Amino acid sequence: MQRRRLGTLEVSALGYGCMGLSYGYGPATDRQDGIQMIRAAAERGVTIFDTAESYGPFTNEELVGEALGPIRDQVVIATKFGWNIDPETGERRPGLNSRPEHIKAATEGMLRRLKTDHIDLLYQHRVDPEVPIEEVAGTMKDLIAQGKVNHYGLSEAGAQTIRRAHLVHPVTAIQSEYSIWTRDPEAEALPVCEELGIGFVPWSPLGQGFLTGKIDAAATFDSTDFRAVFPRFTPEARAANVALVDLLKRIAEGKKATPAQVALAWLLARKPWIVPIPGTTKLHRLEENLGSVGVELTSGDLHDIETSFAKIPVHGARLPEQVLKYSNG
């Protein structure tokens, strides 16, 4: 597995997004199956594993902690705080909470669930407009000084927030949705990351599965699957957006690859400090995703993708409005 750097943190070129094993894409995977998937990723060279206290809440962190316990010193665990979740009970409350005392309590809970004495990369999951980012960064600086956290990250943060945070303590990575059909970070987040030497971690690099070509207009989703209420996954939007998948399929045929591999290779080709974190519950999909590291897209391929993409309008907002309002803070 190739290696890349997020700021000063060295990781595998592809990470593994653990959320879908427990939360968000339908019923949770059997616990032992989930453990086996995480360990299978590690055995194949993946070193960065992404979770969050809100995935469950808590159940995904517990799964990750158990799965990676035997190889803890060989991997990077990334998790996130920031939603208003009771650190003890896991009760979800409305809105966000990044008050310093809450961050500290949340961190203690994360350490317990992950069965570790330190978190390699701790993200603020969403920017809290009620708490100055300087206070958040200062709290992270304290946690890092105490050895409880190694690296500080931000998720779905705007350029000015990133700059302000970075002045207080160096930011290692920004995590935001980014894929060939969600290009929002290109305007501000990627340029500021390049300027400041910050890594970028795209979540949903396969467009919640749509870019694999396995979801069509007739697909149905479980009531516990986020996509059941995502604007981009209405039957009408899926029927319109299949043109983008057709573009990926055309490129893939010439590369003897799959649409998913081309979508990931496209991200890897954007910048050497971009580390996508696709998730899957299936071993053959894990191996397919990891195969993207060997798919080389030439400058001609990339130009072809850009010019073709420019002619394809993407239908539907990337997230529901009530979630989108917390993004790009």
Report how far residue 251's alpha carbon sits from residue 259's, in angstroms, rounded to the nearest whole number. Answer: 8
55 catalytic residue (yes or no): yes
Q: Which of 16, 25, 55, 326 is catalytic?
A: 55
- What does the block give as tokens for 37? 């998937």
For residue 106, give Cα distances in angstroms to 43, 110, 123, 306: 30, 6, 12, 42
Report how far residue 204's alpha carbon sits from residue 219's, in angstroms, rounded to the nearest whole number. Answer: 19
Residue with tokens 């300027």: 195
Terminal CA-CA length for the chain: 34
CB 97 within 8 A of CB 128: yes
Q: Across the chain, how many H-helices and E-strands are there?
A: 11, 11
Q: How many CB atoms lie within 10 A of CB 19?
A: 20
The DSSP letter of residue 13 is: S
Catalytically active residues are 55
